[in-house]
Amino acid sequence: MPTKRFRGLEEERQQQLLVAAAAEFSAHGYQAASFNRIIERAGVSKGAMYYYFEDKADLYATVVRDAVARLVEVSTPVGEATDPASFWLEIREMVRATLEQYRIDPYLAGLVRSLTRDGLPVAPVEEIRAMSSVWFTQMMQLGQSLGAVRHDLPVDLMLAIAIGASEGFDVWLADRIGELTDEALDELAETVT
């Protein structure tokens, strides 16, 4: 967790530090990211950075939590659905909003890719995986209750498949998000739901 000193900074300064770190982690992943390049890009001294964060892992955790919070805002669980058609319509709209968030947030896709590729055993990765599991389970159970999701497979198997597909999709998307038009995003949302 960032220190109290970081949380005491003005919001603009916090964002300056987080954006510098997000750019580095997004481009290089956690393992290859350079703490020194982040410090240089942020325009702070090494001492100041350690004044705000314990180490690179702490900074990464903070950046990832910040990015995921923005993603969660648009990836709200499906709750208004009353039948299979409305369930899948809500899923499609949520996927489209998520795709748009990837496009407008220049570092989000790379950060999500780093979570998958680096295989880090750090707290935010485990938190995100746990949150993902809960979300997918709730979505599947709602879909089953509405007759939109099959009942002949165990929920934990469908969960493993959904999370695996989602992580693979995130990696694929991170490499292509800048090339996708609005029409392509619409088609993608339609195809994956």
Whether 35 and 57 map to the same domain: the answer is: yes
pLDDT at 183: 94
Cα-based distances in Å from 123 to 62, 65, 176, 186: 10, 10, 28, 34
DSSP structural state of residue 88: H
Whether 95 and 58 map to the same domain: the answer is: no
Please give the residue range of the domain that contains residue 182.
66-192
pLDDT at 124: 67
Residue type, 81: A
Whether 40 and 97 map to the same domain: the answer is: no
Say how far apart CA 90 and CA 166 lie, in whole Å.
Answer: 17
Half-sphere exposure of 49 (CA within 13 A, CB side): 25
pLDDT at 126: 77
Would you give per-residue pLDDT tens digits along the chain (193 residues)?
677 889 889 999 999 999 999 999 999 989 899 999 999 999 999 999 999 999 998 899 899 888 888 888 887 766 789 999 999 999 999 899 989 998 888 898 888 888 777 666 566 677 777 888 888 898 899 999 999 999 999 999 999 998 888 888 888 888 888 888 999 999 999 998 8
Whether 12 and 101 map to the same domain: the answer is: no
pLDDT at 72: 80
Whether 71 and 114 map to the same domain: the answer is: yes
**Domain final residue pick, 35, 63, 91:** 63
pLDDT at 19: 96
Residue 170, both tokens: 């995130």
pLDDT at 2: 77
Whether 76 and 42 map to the same domain: the answer is: no
Distance between the two ends of the chain, CA-based, in angstroms? 36
Whether 83 and 157 map to the same domain: the answer is: yes
pLDDT at 172: 87
Whether 120 and 158 map to the same domain: the answer is: yes
pLDDT at 120: 63
pLDDT at 144: 94
- Rounded to two decimals, the pTM is 0.80
Say how far apart CA 13 and CA 17 lie, in whole Å.
Answer: 6
